[in-house]
Structures are given as structure tokens and as C-alpha cells.
Amino acid sequence: MNEPDYKELYHLMVNAAEDAIRAIEQTNYGIALEKLISAQQKAEQRYIEAE
């Protein structure tokens, strides 16, 4: 069992949040939502794979 790379997961989520903020500033709410959902799914998958 490997320990999840929390630093990688943190960067993944922070980058998605930054992208979502930029999309919201441009009133692209759907894109913002997609960015956040995608990052959450990727982080969850990487976490599961590391266990």
C-alpha cells in the first residue's frame, strides 16, 4: 500500500480552483463547474489508486 501524494492532490485541487475562479469572473459558470468536478474525480481516483 502506497501513501497518497497529498502534495500532488493539493496542487490538482488548487489549480482547478484557480481555473474555476477565472471562469466565474468571465461568467462561464458551466466551465467552472466542469473544472471543479473533473479535478475532484481525478483526485479521488489518484487517492484510491494509491491505497
User: pLDDT (tens digit, 9 = 90+) per residue, 6-41?
Assistant: 999 999 999 999 999 999 999 999 999 999 999 999
Give the model's confidence band at 51: pLDDT under 50 very low, under 70 low, under 90 confident, else very high: confident
Torsion of CA 2, 36, 18, 42, to 10 degrees: 20
pLDDT at 2 over 90: no
Q: What is the pLDDT of residue 46?
A: 96
The predicted model scores a pTM of 0.88
Distance from C-alpha of 8 to C-alpha of 39, rounded to nearest angstrom: 12
Domain boundaries, the chain: 6-50
Predicted pLDDT of residue 21: 98
